[in-house]
Protein backbone atom coordinates (compact mmCIF):
# COMPACT_ATOMS: atom_id res chain seq x y z
CA UNK A 1 0.00 0.00 0.00
CA UNK A 2 1.44 3.36 -0.97
CA UNK A 3 2.31 5.75 1.83
CA UNK A 4 1.03 8.67 -0.25
CA UNK A 5 -2.59 7.61 0.10
CA UNK A 6 -4.86 9.98 1.95
CA UNK A 7 -5.94 8.33 5.24
CA UNK A 8 -9.62 8.45 4.20
CA UNK A 9 -9.09 6.33 1.08
CA UNK A 10 -9.14 3.02 2.97
CA UNK A 11 -12.37 3.72 4.91
CA UNK A 12 -13.92 4.93 1.64
CA UNK A 13 -12.90 1.75 -0.19
CA UNK A 14 -14.04 -0.35 2.79
CA UNK A 15 -17.56 1.08 2.51
CA UNK A 16 -17.55 0.32 -1.21
CA UNK A 17 -16.42 -3.24 -0.49
CA UNK A 18 -19.20 -3.64 2.08
CA UNK A 19 -21.70 -2.49 -0.56
CA UNK A 20 -20.31 -5.03 -3.03
CA UNK A 21 -20.55 -7.85 -0.47
CA UNK A 22 -24.17 -7.01 0.41
CA UNK A 23 -25.00 -6.77 -3.31
CA UNK A 24 -23.55 -10.26 -3.86
CA UNK A 25 -25.41 -11.64 -0.85
CA UNK A 26 -28.67 -10.14 -2.13
CA UNK A 27 -28.40 -11.88 -5.49
CA UNK A 28 -27.16 -15.13 -3.97
CA UNK A 29 -30.21 -15.25 -1.68
CA UNK A 30 -32.73 -14.06 -4.26
CA UNK A 31 -31.59 -16.30 -7.08
CA UNK A 32 -31.24 -19.25 -4.71
CA UNK A 33 -34.79 -18.83 -3.43
CA UNK A 34 -36.20 -18.28 -6.90
CA UNK A 35 -34.52 -21.48 -8.11
CA UNK A 36 -35.69 -23.50 -5.09
CA UNK A 37 -39.24 -22.26 -5.51
CA UNK A 38 -39.09 -22.51 -9.33
CA UNK A 39 -40.19 -18.88 -9.66
CA UNK A 40 -40.35 -17.09 -12.96
CA UNK A 41 -38.21 -13.91 -12.66
CA UNK A 42 -41.02 -11.97 -14.33
CA UNK A 43 -43.06 -12.49 -11.14
CA UNK A 44 -40.75 -9.91 -9.52
CA UNK A 45 -41.08 -7.29 -12.25
CA UNK A 46 -42.72 -4.72 -9.98
CA UNK A 47 -41.11 -3.53 -6.71
CA UNK A 48 -44.20 -4.53 -4.72
CA UNK A 49 -43.66 -8.13 -5.85
CA UNK A 50 -40.64 -8.41 -3.59
CA UNK A 51 -43.09 -9.51 -0.91
CA UNK A 52 -43.28 -12.82 -2.80
CA UNK A 53 -39.78 -13.51 -1.48
CA UNK A 54 -39.05 -14.57 2.08
CA UNK A 55 -37.88 -12.08 4.68
CA UNK A 56 -34.40 -13.63 4.52
CA UNK A 57 -34.24 -13.02 0.78
CA UNK A 58 -35.36 -9.41 1.27
CA UNK A 59 -32.97 -8.53 4.12
CA UNK A 60 -29.89 -8.01 1.94
CA UNK A 61 -31.94 -6.05 -0.58
CA UNK A 62 -33.25 -3.76 2.15
CA UNK A 63 -29.72 -3.34 3.50
CA UNK A 64 -28.35 -2.55 0.05
CA UNK A 65 -30.93 0.21 -0.28
CA UNK A 66 -29.85 1.50 3.13
CA UNK A 67 -26.22 1.59 1.95
CA UNK A 68 -27.23 4.32 -0.51
CA UNK A 69 -28.74 6.61 2.10
CA UNK A 70 -26.40 8.06 4.78
CA UNK A 71 -23.29 6.44 3.25
CA UNK A 72 -23.68 8.75 0.25
CA UNK A 73 -22.87 11.65 2.60
CA UNK A 74 -19.91 9.65 3.92
CA UNK A 75 -18.53 9.30 0.39
CA UNK A 76 -19.01 13.01 -0.27
CA UNK A 77 -17.31 14.00 2.99
CA UNK A 78 -14.36 11.69 2.36
CA UNK A 79 -13.92 12.98 -1.17
CA UNK A 80 -14.20 16.60 0.00
CA UNK A 81 -11.55 15.98 2.64
CA UNK A 82 -9.28 14.29 0.11
CA UNK A 83 -9.86 17.24 -2.26
CA UNK A 84 -8.98 19.75 0.45
CA UNK A 85 -5.87 17.68 1.13
CA UNK A 86 -5.99 17.84 4.89
CA UNK A 87 -4.76 14.89 6.92
CA UNK A 88 -6.60 14.92 10.19
CA UNK A 89 -6.48 12.02 12.67
CA UNK A 90 -9.88 12.94 14.15
CA UNK A 91 -11.56 12.84 10.73
CA UNK A 92 -9.86 9.53 9.96
CA UNK A 93 -10.93 8.02 13.29
CA UNK A 94 -14.52 9.17 12.76
CA UNK A 95 -14.49 7.63 9.27
CA UNK A 96 -13.35 4.27 10.65
CA UNK A 97 -15.99 4.45 13.40
CA UNK A 98 -18.62 5.07 10.73
CA UNK A 99 -17.38 2.12 8.65
CA UNK A 100 -17.17 -0.17 11.67
CA UNK A 101 -20.73 0.50 12.77
CA UNK A 102 -22.01 0.24 9.19
CA UNK A 103 -20.36 -3.19 8.90
CA UNK A 104 -22.05 -4.23 12.15
CA UNK A 105 -25.34 -2.74 10.98
CA UNK A 106 -25.18 -4.70 7.71
CA UNK A 107 -24.22 -7.89 9.51
CA UNK A 108 -27.17 -7.57 11.86
CA UNK A 109 -29.57 -6.47 9.11
CA UNK A 110 -28.63 -9.40 6.86
CA UNK A 111 -28.74 -12.05 9.61
CA UNK A 112 -30.66 -11.78 12.89
CA UNK A 113 -32.28 -8.50 11.92
CA UNK A 114 -32.66 -7.55 15.60
CA UNK A 115 -34.10 -4.05 15.28
CA UNK A 116 -32.73 -2.53 18.49
CA UNK A 117 -29.18 -3.75 17.78
CA UNK A 118 -29.41 -2.61 14.18
CA UNK A 119 -30.79 0.78 15.21
CA UNK A 120 -28.03 1.25 17.81
CA UNK A 121 -25.36 0.65 15.16
CA UNK A 122 -27.17 2.98 12.77
CA UNK A 123 -27.29 5.81 15.34
CA UNK A 124 -23.64 5.41 16.35
CA UNK A 125 -22.58 5.42 12.69
CA UNK A 126 -24.74 8.49 12.04
CA UNK A 127 -23.19 10.32 15.00
CA UNK A 128 -19.73 9.60 13.57
CA UNK A 129 -20.92 10.87 10.19
CA UNK A 130 -22.28 14.11 11.66
CA UNK A 131 -19.00 14.44 13.55
CA UNK A 132 -17.17 14.16 10.22
CA UNK A 133 -19.36 16.88 8.74
CA UNK A 134 -18.78 19.23 11.67
CA UNK A 135 -15.05 18.47 11.66
CA UNK A 136 -14.78 19.18 7.92
CA UNK A 137 -16.68 22.44 8.37
CA UNK A 138 -14.28 23.36 11.19
CA UNK A 139 -11.22 22.51 9.07
CA UNK A 140 -12.58 24.42 6.09
CA UNK A 141 -13.08 27.65 8.04
Q: pLDDT at residue 2 above 60?
A: no
User: What is the C-alpha to C-alpha distance for residues 132 and 124, in angstroms, rounded to an integer?
Assistant: 12
pLDDT of 105 > 70? The answer is yes
CATH architecture of 9-140: Up-down Bundle (1.20)
Size (the chain), residues: 141
**In the predicted structure, residue 116 carries a pLDDT above the cut 90:** yes
Threshold 0.85, pTM exceeds = yes
Tell me the average pLDDT across 15-43. 94
pLDDT of residue 86: 81
Note the pLDDT tens digit of each residue in 73-88: 999 999 999 998 887 8
Q: How many CA atoms lie within 13 A of 7 on its CB side?
A: 11
Distances from the Cα of 113 to the Cα of 21, 24, 96, angstroms = 17, 18, 23
Average pLDDT over the chain, rounded to whole? 93
User: How high is the pLDDT of residue 133?
Assistant: 96
pLDDT for residue 11 is more than 70: yes
Between 75 and 41, the more confident residue is 75
Amino acid sequence: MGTNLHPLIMPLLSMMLLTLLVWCLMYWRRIGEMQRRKMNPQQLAMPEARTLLSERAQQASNNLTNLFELPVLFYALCLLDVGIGRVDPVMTALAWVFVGFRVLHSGIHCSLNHVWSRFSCYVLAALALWGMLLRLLWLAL
